[in-house]
């Protein structure tokens, strides 16, 4: 129904979402890279109404480009806005509970322990976002090994790697078996379209090796 999981998942936060140019920037990235992109709307301070407004604006672009739009923690907003789906974290409903009310949407789920990967995948997650607990700037070797372990435990459920992601790390993550990567600062603090190209090019190079 939703096709393959995008290779680059681009996070936001309240600061990014408050930028008057956010929708324009996100639109440019989605138009440039289409189904290879997932925009994650993540916020703790903006109102639910504003999050719905942003979701509705990006849904139009998503439908034209086949990019994904995912709302963090808020399955209800994802359903009201009709976007691709939601990303579940420790603050959210469990995957099993979310599936009861949203049986057909994309549901990503964050995992920070290998032991959680299998049950989370079996509960109905579309994909897993995997990063070791603690500092997101974990050592490269630690992150690579963690991703490999989660990929093995997930038994076919796509795994998206998170943790201080740079284009160089994107290469290593694809080599470690990740189906995609998560980035934020490296995208929004740069020319977003060009930065997206660098992440995807590095990730793809890892796949070719």
Exposure string for 148-180, b = 16+ CB within 10 A, e = fewer: bbbbebbeebbbbbbbbbbbebbbbbbbbbbbb
Domain span including residue 166: 8-208
Give a yes or no: residue 1 inside a domain: no
Give a yes or no: residue 180 inside a domain: yes
Give a yes or no: residue 40 inside a domain: yes
CATH number of the structural domain spanning residue 79: 3.20.20.70
- Looking at the structure of the chain, the number of domains it has is 1
Three-state DSSP class for residue 88: strand
Q: What is the pLDDT of residues 101-145, one digit of tens each?
A: 999 999 999 999 999 999 999 999 999 999 987 654 567 788 999
Give a yes or no: residue 51 inside a domain: yes
Q: In the prediction, which pLDDT does 141 show?
A: 80
Give a yes or no: residue 74 inside a domain: yes
pTM over 0.85: yes
Give a yes or no: residue 29 inside a domain: yes
Q: What is the pLDDT of residues 64-76, one digit of tens each?
A: 999 999 999 999 9
């Amino acid at each position: 129904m939703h096709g393959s999981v995008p290779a680059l998942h681009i996070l936001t936060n309240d600061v990014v979402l408050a930028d008057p140019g956010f929708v324009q920037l996100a639109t440019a990235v989605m138009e440039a890279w289409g189904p290879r992109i997932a925009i994650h709307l993540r916020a703790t301070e903006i109102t639910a109404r504003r999050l719905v407004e942003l979701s509705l604006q990006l849904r139009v672009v998503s439908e034209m480009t086949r990019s994904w739009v995912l709302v963090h923690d808020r399955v209800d907003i994802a359903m009201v806005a009709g976007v691709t789906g939601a990303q579940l974290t420790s603050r959210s409903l469990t995957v099993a509970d979310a599936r009861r009310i949203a049986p057909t949407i994309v549901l990503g789920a964050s995992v920070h322990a290998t032991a959680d990967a299998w049950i989370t995948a079996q509960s109905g997650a579309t994909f897993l976002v995997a990063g070791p607990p603690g500092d997101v700037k974990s050592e490269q070797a630690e992150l690579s090994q963690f991703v490999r372990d989660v990929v093995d435990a997930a038994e076919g459920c796509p795994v998206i790697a998170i943790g201080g992601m740079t284009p160089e790390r994107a290469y290593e993550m694809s080599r470690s078996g990740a189906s995609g990567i998560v980035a934020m600062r490296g995208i929004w603090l740069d020319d977003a379209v060009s930065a997206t190209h660098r992440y995807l090019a590095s990730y793809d190079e890892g796949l070719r090796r």
